[in-house]
Chain A
């Protein structure tokens, strides 16, 4: 049992756990004496601490959780069942218990199981229902009155299902089966050096990190002030995983490609992820660079080796938020020193990341963002080695059509494939099996391919291949002739 705690099998305070009730998930931080609301119920997680992940709990009155032992299904003694519903009349009076009666039962703290039993006994039509209908009735009531929740360990499977159900907008409607395709088509595995550009709350990043198991490295390209990793933090990765994680601002990609990159300025602290305005600046490090206005850092930069004049700086600061001013007023030397240390650390890491990218030998590229994919692909593929897979997700098909065409024109890629997956769930029960619901559309589209060494000369074979994908010319002519 000691071992299981070490392996992270037990629920500990401070963990990110996922609550599950039937098909509904919710990620929560496990804290003592903190009220959690889930599926119209409130409770405290205190009692769950120390239990093994996967344990099912019952919510008792007062919101405490009691581990539910796996019980023998108490089969309701129903030897009677009808064959069809020819004599069942809906008069609204079949249930003899009133709404108030049920509420009274609940308030007494009577177990959900008992309530369900009472409902069955007080249903005049229950015995006339078919066996299947009785089953269905019991299931429905159980769902309502037997409050059981299971606490499970987060994983890509659970988190991607949860996000798609709860907050699809935050992950650009990336359905979990589509994410699964991306991980496979991208050949994500331990030891890779991956480049990721995502605006899916860090879910795609987390999925990639899970598949890499802390081996290799991930470079996350981010827009604005910093990467969003709300979903990534739900995975509960060990600290060591984050040692292999790098980030690089998208706004610096062009300067990196053109060789004018400098680490002099950084985007602002990852706080609200507001797009930061760019402006051209004078020579820094004897180089023309794109500079980003930064919060907080601008002062320490001035203290360091920035050429910005005091005057300019204060003008910039006027536009800054008051938080900064307050901190400046309080700002003692130690504060500034601490900031400088952080600043230097960030800069060091940025230089390191730039060097990793400049090797241009990444093992793959994954893109899933709210931006148009074409410019991202055309730039970021520069950093990928030949014979490596890349996968682009987009909520819409049209941008990927353009991306496909542009990549073909540019060359250096083969085996381009535009695809989509549909997912179908089934209800499987004796004599009652059928598809549950059709999920289609809204799951997004994927463009995948493989990089190859870039050709200087357009060869005829690649144009041949391109032709194969176009409508044959003869057909077009025929159409026109017909209409003459």
Chain B
């Protein structure tokens, strides 16, 4: 089996622990001054790539782990994090701040297809979804555009000979599929536990190569198919009703018609 050239797309999103607020103009979510981090599923992708190398799981070895992110200037921060976790290098595809720069999954998939060709990647590991848009599309779209096999929501990745066996989380349990490289894998929570970047590694990551590009360098236009008409807060729940004891709970549930 040829050596792995792994491409790991990562996205800068509002930190998972922050409760997002809809902006006053109802055009989106307030992002200014809000803590951002790497999309949690993308951390799993980087971790898995690094583990494949460290544990020498791929018979042909790992030649390269390249992290890539498309987004505004601050996306560099998460690319540095990816390199501190073990990626060899990074590509930053810079887009405009805010809504103008936001790319739809299909555009990201087209961009990644161009990068895969350029970098001669033979394995792309993405998160199963980003926690901002919750679309869960990019990996599958990329696989479709490339005509490669895909394994989504992976909880285990194993290499046997020239093929990759992936256990996937599905409704009601797990399913295992096998395919030959090149392929696209998306990560699920159970795949691994991402490491923290150590201080020496954070320092080293500053010296790792980071290449800047634009969408047009890759021959891709930021074409929008979906227009956001409005963004609103969900209807609030009027919770807060408390009961004293178990009997109170049962009678209240009966009153509400839930029992």
Asked whether A and B interact, the reply is no
Q: What is B's interface to A at a CB cutoff of 8 Å?
A: none
CB within 8 Å of B: which residues of A?
A: none
